[in-house]
Chain A
């Protein structure tokens, strides 16, 4: 029987969502066009060619190397794209994803990515078209709620603050706004105004966010409610503590 990764222990909805994010088997809930994505990422003009940092690999004449022969380059590496980044911020108030699970999702399901995990933000560096593929995946699926998560290249402050009255995570650069019942982005991820308003779709309701979140919270699903997770966390901590301990010395 083929091995199937289990990814994460636990029987609660949060554990199930964590497994979904890690395995990449997440539900697609909105559409964002390629041009809109390019516009809000702000690395190049929509519709323009990808600037390159070196000629395509096929023209470069690579040295003979068994590893290079074995590993198929990603489309971005093949074309010689620049390395560019996308950075997400997820609110602590039941945002669907968290920096750790965005990094797991990126590292497990995408090649040629360099995820960076911080307490309040998560950055992925990759060749431009590979990075765009990942950004599109994370923004179009249930990994992102446009109100509780946001694309923030710089000035990320807000993930741990109370939500404003309209439920859209505080952003001191005002990149996202709620207009009618949808969230629009009228600045790119670093705060430069863009030519048009990009519709990021409807925000999740409080109930839906609580259902889709990967965050354990005492006011939703408490960490201590998940006996299997607790057991495994204890086991990991136990092993980490004793693995170098040799009493006979």
Chain B
């Protein structure tokens, strides 16, 4: 098994707004969050938006959902495959946590829940091992799209310089 991030005592957070976020609001929030120092990794979570109708007589027709759009975060284009319901992230320490809370208060116009807990696996699971094999980058542990394929590169490295 590969190394874990558990020894680092990073703080994991969840932002859970009372409404599902429009792509523009999600983009603004993610931009502000990624501007902060000390964010290690994050993912967005929410109901998936299909490209084509999955069931019924209209199966296969394109959906063209307005939520299924490309947002730009930290200079990188990201295609939103979900309607953003929550954002889960790992940050360096509690100081960053408070900065993230402040950003949420400024950007979100709806009430939100903000909590600390365990949201991203800190240790390699069987699924991680099956997907990435032995010796995988510990930063990638738990960073998977359950319906995505690894060859589609579901994880974006927003600030490659910080990886050093």
Contact = CB atoms under 8 A, between A and B. Distances in A.
A155 B65 CA distance: 14
A192 B58 contact: yes
B65 A164 contact: no
A190 interface: yes
Interface size class of B (residues with CB under 8 A): 20 to 34
Interface stretch (A94-102, A126-134, A169-177, A221-229): A169-177
Given A170-B47, A173-B63, A174-B65, A164 B19 contact: yes
Interface residues of A, number: 20
Contacts of A69: none
B61 interface: yes
A190 B48 contact: no
Contacts of A161: 20, 47, 85
Interface string A225-249: 0000000000000000000000000
B49 interface: yes
Interface in A156-191: 157-158, 161-166, 170, 172-174, 177, 190-191
Contacts of A191: 53, 56, 58, 61, 63
A70 interface: no
Nearest to B68: A174
B54 interface: yes
Contacts of A177: 66
Interface in A79-113: none
B110 interface: yes
Interface in B81-134: 83, 85, 109-110
Closest 10 CB pairs of A and B: A154-B56, A191-B58, A164-B20, A174-B65, A190-B56, A192-B58, A191-B53, A154-B55, A190-B58, A165-B19
Interface of A: 153-155, 157-158, 161-166, 170, 172-174, 177, 190-193
